[in-house]
């Protein structure tokens, strides 16, 4: 067996693993990323979830997440405004090309497709190498970037799997004891994404065959309360394609989820059934909607003898994995907003220092097919729409309680089952991966273990990264474009565990988006409508929304009836106009002068 050495080894090329490898290599340390498949990016690419959720506001489009969005806008023909579930939808291949180009541009980064890890080697309480089928790789710092936290199991690193109970963490949404839901679904259900295509009126797509898995009547209420076209637009991609990732009587697949942490054969059997389940849903769409709808068979690369490829993602979209027992465990209380503040408290250590290294805002979203779980409220109105409330995650959730030489960088962070519903989203995992990669590089530079790294030095490195500076605290009024953005981030780190009151945002920059003229309507608190003078794709009235804090500030001041000129982008699927810049055309009386 070959023996290789590197300074930082990232095992797994998922969303967090790809981010960690890129960030560590950009810092200048010798980094290797070992993947099981041909694409980097995980949820954002190879799992096919190319309609990411959360961190959508401009102030939170920072770090590698912000850089990824900027690259998408440049590379994706047709733009990103297509679906009603996300402001950003794109072809998975475009996302994969971004990560691949970033990786290949870095002389310090080596990317190897080595298959799954087979064993982890330890000296005492320290991980020092990982063995694959043909090679053993030794590293100073190892990062678990696998989809299911495989190194935690292989290395006998303390971790959790499944539910926690209310006495454990006093979480308001956690069940007090096991029940029917928790016994049937030990973790959130994955989805095997399939991409369909509308070939147009009169077209005849190849018939989607039935799978060996009997669907019964599983999908008859999948789009209950809406028509098929609106349902498909949930995950509309460019090029008349549709990401099928639907929770309600859709293709979430929750049968015998213990197989995910069983043998390789168990996981393979689960994956085959999940893929068949999505095939059955796609067939049902075709049966109801007609043969104009078919499989988008050129979406993913096909690999002989490997599940997935063609119209089907390369692996399931895993929402939950093994979860590290870390120095700090993030629980539901850490992500919920304070009653008087609208945001979660910032994490602090025993010395009172803020330990935040990544931010998120998505609502707490759990998936259990056919069953629901009441969850504590975690949403607010902002920018004319609903969005999640902000929170920050601590450095300690990346570090094992006892094991050295290891950091985690995907969904396997130290988090409760309940809080995982908000921390598992793509932008959050990308930020966690960036933080883990930066921490690994700093540890190599300083010759120390992750638990010895000063968190302020990690925060400073993230905030001042020359290529993708990343916010560590969620300031919703301050964008990376603002000249005092860095000062405001540092000021919060110096101040305490609460975010400051939202200040007046700086004016928006110039916009290159199309311009629309029309009348503003105020429908309620943070609910706006825009009636355009000219129809757009046959539509005159749109919900008026924004991701820009200055535009949000402006919209709160306009009375109904004001005439506005708006630069923005119309999304017919969501029936909204996303405003980048607004100018009022209604004359205002000037105050008298003496």
- For each of the chain's 594 residues, which pLDDT tens digit applies? 899 999 999 999 999 999 999 999 999 999 999 999 999 999 999 999 999 999 999 999 999 999 999 999 999 999 999 999 999 999 999 999 999 999 999 999 999 999 999 999 999 999 999 999 999 999 999 999 999 999 999 999 999 999 999 999 999 999 999 999 999 999 999 999 999 999 999 999 999 999 999 999 999 999 999 999 999 999 999 999 999 999 989 999 999 999 999 999 999 999 999 999 999 999 999 999 999 999 999 999 999 999 999 999 999 999 999 999 999 999 999 999 997 778 999 999 999 999 999 999 999 999 999 888 899 999 999 999 999 999 999 999 999 999 999 999 999 999 999 999 999 999 999 999 999 999 999 999 999 999 999 999 999 999 999 999 999 999 999 999 999 999 999 999 998 777 777 778 888 777 889 999 999 999 999 999 999 999 988 888 999 999 999 999 999 999 999 999 999 999 999 999 999 999 999 987 765 544
Helices 15-27 and 92-104, packing angle to 10 deg: 30
The structural domains of the chain, with segments of one domain joined by +, span 2-162+319-495, 194-295, 515-584
Residue 594 has what pLDDT? 40
Residues 478-505, buried b or exposed e (16+ Cβ, 10 A)?
A: bbbebeebbebbbebbeeebebeeeeeb
Q: Please, is 59 exposed, middle or buried when counting C-beta atoms within 10 Å of its C-beta (0-12, 13-18, 19+)?
A: buried
Among 430, 398, 428, 402, CA closest to 415: 398
Q: What whole-number distance in Å separates Cα of residue 5 and Cα of residue 104?
A: 19
3-state secondary structure of 121: strand
CATH fold of 515-584 reads OB fold (Dihydrolipoamide Acetyltransferase, E2P) (2.40.50)
Report in angstroms the alpha-carbon separations of 211 from 285, 287, 475. 14, 14, 49
Q: What whole-number distance in Å separates Cα of residue 367 and Cα of residue 248?
A: 9
Residue 2 has what pLDDT? 95
Residue 196: strand pairing partners: 242, 295
The answer to whether residues 31 and 109 touch, using CB atoms and an 8 Å cutoff, is yes
Q: What whole-number distance in Å separates Cα of residue 426 and Cα of residue 42?
A: 9
Token pair of 558, please?
Answer: 């306009």
Q: What whole-number distance in Å separates Cα of residue 528 and Cα of residue 522?
A: 5
Contacting residues for 208 by C-beta, under 8 A, at least 6 apart: 279, 282, 283, 286, 294, 295
The runs of H, that is alpha helices, within 408-540 are 420-423, 426-446, 455-463, 485-495
Q: What whole-number distance in Å separates Cα of residue 145 and Cα of residue 323?
A: 12
In which order are the strands placed within the sheet that holds 236-237? 236-237, 241-244, 194-198, 293-295
Give the chain's length.
594
Fold identical between 2-162+319-495 and 515-584? Answer: no
Contacting residues for 4 by C-beta, under 8 A, at least 6 apart: 32, 135, 136, 137, 138
3-state secondary structure of 128: strand
The answer to whether residues 1 and 134 touch, using CB atoms and an 8 Å cutoff, is yes
Class of domain 2-162+319-495: alpha beta
The answer to whether residues 323 and 270 touch, using CB atoms and an 8 Å cutoff, is no
φ/ψ of residue 5, rounded to 5: -135, 145
φ/ψ of residue 4, rounded to 5: -115, 160
Chain centroid to CA 197: how far? 24
Q: Euclidean distance between the first and final Cα of the chain, in Å?
A: 90
Tokens 């953005």 identify what position? Answer: 485
Instruction: Kindly write down the DSSP assignment for every residue of 242-285, as one continuous string.
Output: EEE--TTTTSB--TTGGGGGS-HHHHHHHHHHHHHHHHHHHHHH
Tokens 């729409």 identify what position? Answer: 385
Residue 341 has what pLDDT? 77
Token pair of 315, please?
Answer: 């692996």
Q: What whole-number distance in Å separates Cα of residue 261 and Cα of residue 594?
A: 79
φ/ψ of residue 395, rounded to 5: -60, -35
The answer to whether residues 347 and 455 touch, using CB atoms and an 8 Å cutoff, is no
H-run or E-run covering 551: helix 549-555
Q: What whole-number distance in Å separates Cα of residue 229 and Cα of residue 245?
A: 15
* Angle 8-9-14 from CA coordinates, rounded to 5°: 125
The answer to whether residues 27 and 20 touch, using CB atoms and an 8 Å cutoff, is no
Residue 578: strand pairing partners: 545, 569
Residue 339 has what pLDDT? 78
* Angle 243-252-143 from CA coordinates, rounded to 5°: 85
Residues 393, 396, 400, 403, CA torsion sign: positive
Contacting residues for 290 by C-beta, under 8 A, at least 6 apart: none
Residue 120 has what pLDDT? 97
């Amino acid at each position: 067996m070959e023996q290789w050495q590197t300074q930082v080894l990232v095992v797994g090329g998922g969303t967090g693993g790809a981010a960690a490898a890129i960030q560590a290599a950009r810092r200048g340390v010798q980094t290797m990323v070992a993947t099981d498949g041909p694409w980097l990016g995980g949820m954002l690419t190879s799992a096919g979830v190319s309609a990411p959720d959360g961190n959508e506001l401009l102030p939170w489009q920072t770090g590698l997440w912000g850089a990824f969005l900027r690259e998408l806008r440049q590379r994706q023909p047709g733009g990103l405004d297509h679906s009603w579930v996300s402001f950003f939808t794109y072809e998975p291949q475009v996302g994969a090309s971004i990560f691949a180009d970033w990786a290949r541009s870095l002389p310090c980064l080596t990317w190897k497709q080595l298959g799954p890890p087979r064993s982890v080697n330890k000296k005492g309480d320290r991980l020092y190498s990982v063995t694959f089928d043909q090679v053993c790789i030794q590293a100073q710092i190892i990062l678990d970037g696998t989809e299911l936290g495989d190194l935690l199991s292989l290395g006998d690193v303390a971790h959790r799997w499944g539910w926690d109970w209310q006495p454990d963490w006093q979480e308001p949404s956690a069940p007090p004891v096991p029940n029917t839901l928790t016994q049937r679904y030990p973790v959130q259900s994955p989805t095997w994404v399939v991409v369909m295509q509308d070939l147009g009126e009169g077209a005849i797509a190849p018939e989607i065959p039935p799978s060996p898995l009997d669907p019964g009547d599983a999908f008859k209420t999948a789009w209950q309360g809406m028509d098929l076209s609106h349902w498909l637009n949930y995950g509309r991609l460019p090029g008349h394609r549709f990401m099928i990732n639907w929770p309600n009587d859709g293709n979430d697949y929750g049968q015998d989820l213990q197989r995910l942490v069983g043998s390789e054969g168990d996981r393979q059997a689960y994956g085959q059934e999940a893929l068949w389940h999505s095939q059955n849903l796609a067939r049902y769409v075709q049966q109801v909607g007609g043969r104009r709808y078919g499989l988008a068979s050129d979406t993913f690369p096909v690999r002989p003898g490997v599940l997935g490829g063609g119209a089907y993602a390369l692996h399931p979209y895993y929402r939950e994995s093994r979860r590290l027992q870390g120095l700090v465990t993030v629980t539901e209380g850490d992500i919920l907003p304070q009653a008087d503040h609208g945001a979660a408290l910032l994490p602090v250590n025993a010395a009172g220092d803020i330990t935040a290294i990544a931010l998120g805002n998505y609502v707490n979203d759990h998936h259990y097919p056919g069953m629901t779980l009441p969850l504590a409220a975690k949403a607010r109105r902002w920018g004319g729409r609903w969005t999640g409330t902000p929170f920050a995650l601590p450095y300690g959730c990346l570090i094992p309680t006892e094991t050295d030489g290891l950091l985690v960088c995907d969904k396997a962070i130290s988090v409760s089952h309940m809080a995982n519903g908000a921390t598992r989203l793509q932008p959050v995992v990308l930020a966690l991966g960036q933080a883990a990669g930066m921490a690994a590089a700093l540890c190599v530079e300083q010759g120390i273990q992750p638990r010895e790294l000063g968190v302020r030095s990690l925060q400073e490195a993230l905030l001042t990264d020359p290529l993708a500076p990343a916010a560590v605290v969620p300031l919703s009024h301050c964008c990376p474009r603002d000249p005092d953005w860095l000062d405001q981030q540092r000021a919060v780190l110096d101040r305490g565990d609460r975010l400051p009151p939202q200040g007046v945002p700086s004016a928006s920059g110039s916009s290159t988006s199309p311009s629309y003229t029309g009348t503003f309507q105020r429908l309620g608190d943070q609910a706006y409508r825009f009636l355009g003078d000219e129809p757009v794709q046959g539509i005159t009235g749109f919900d008026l929304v924004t991701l820009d804090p200055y535009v949000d500030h402006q919209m709160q001041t306009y009375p109904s009836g004001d005439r506005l000129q708006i630069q923005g982008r119309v999304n017919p699927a969501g029936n909204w106009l996303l405003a980048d810049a607004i100018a009022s055309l209604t004359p205002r009386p000037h105050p008298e002068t003496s």
